[in-house]
């Protein structure tokens, strides 16, 4: 038996959560008064700048993941006086072809970069989802490893947790409370170790966005 306990007074003193953690504090947003903002030079400057960044963003993505540098190709079609261009981009053994055509080569390459980047990011999201499911299945099948898995994860992100385990009066039943990032997780069992492992399991499943197991 385990559960997540909200609004508990059992707290933990720790370093601030790292950026991007599921339980980190919300980002602040500063609003600039409209009177302090000058009129843009063009109707949609932001979109124009955004379109010019796809090739740069794709190159940065490939560099971070140690992928081959993107190689672009151009396909032209139509009459000579009204040529239209589409682009392909090859990254290693993968080639992405944009379905759109443009009046100039640069726009076609930017669109191909956008198409490739969206595809790669969707693949990454699917991989992360599969990894979450695999980790959830792993810890649920072998609950004796939950504390170790959680401790290794917290060490990497420089966070700490604390356990408080008590025995229910006049019963052979233990309840363990785990405090992590302002939230308390609870596990119960006939042994102290079992209660703590189930509390760790509750924390892991919460971090993975999964709250139940079979």
Average pLDDT for consecutive 10-residue bins of the chain (214 residues)? Answer: 49 42 39 41 47 87 90 93 94 93 95 93 79 78 90 88 92 93 92 94 85 48
CATH of domain 142-207: 3.30.160.20
Q: Where are the domains of the chain?
A: 46-130, 142-207
Q: Do residues 187 and 195 touch, judged by C-beta distance below 8 A?
A: yes
Largest Cα separation within the chain, whole Å, is 92
pTM of structure: 0.46
Whether domain 46-130 has CATH 3.30.160.20: the reply is yes
Q: Which pLDDT belongs to residue 146?
A: 92
Q: Which pLDDT belongs to residue 138?
A: 81
- Count of residues for the chain? 214
Distance of CA 112 to the CA centre of its chain: 25
């Amino acid at each position: 038996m385990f559960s997540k306990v909200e609004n508990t007074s059992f707290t933990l003193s720790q370093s601030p959560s790292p950026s991007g953690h599921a339980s980190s504090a919300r980002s602040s947003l500063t609003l600039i008064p409209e009177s302090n903002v000058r009129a843009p030079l063009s109707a949609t400057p932001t979109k124009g700048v955004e379109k010019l960044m796809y090739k740069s963003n794709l190159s940065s993505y490939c560099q971070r993941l140690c992928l081959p540098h993107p190689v672009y190709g151009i396909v032209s079609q139509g009459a000579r006086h009204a040529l239209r261009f589409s682009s392909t981009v090859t990254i290693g053994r993968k080639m992405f072809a944009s379905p759109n055509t443009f009046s100039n080569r640069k726009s076609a390459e930017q669109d191909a970069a956008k198409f490739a980047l969206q595809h790669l990011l969707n693949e990454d999201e699917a991989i992360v989802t599969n990894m979450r499911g695999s980790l959830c299945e792993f810890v649920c099948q072998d609950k004796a490893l939950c504390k170790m898995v959680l401790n290794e994860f917290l060490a990497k992100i420089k966070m700490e947790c604390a356990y408080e385990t008590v025995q229910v009066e006049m019963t052979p039943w233990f309840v363990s409370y785990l405090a992590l990032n302002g939230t308390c997780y609870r596990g119960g069992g006939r042994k102290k170790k079992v209660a703590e492992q189930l509390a760790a399991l509750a924390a892991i499943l919460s971090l993975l966005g999964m709250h139940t197991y079979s």
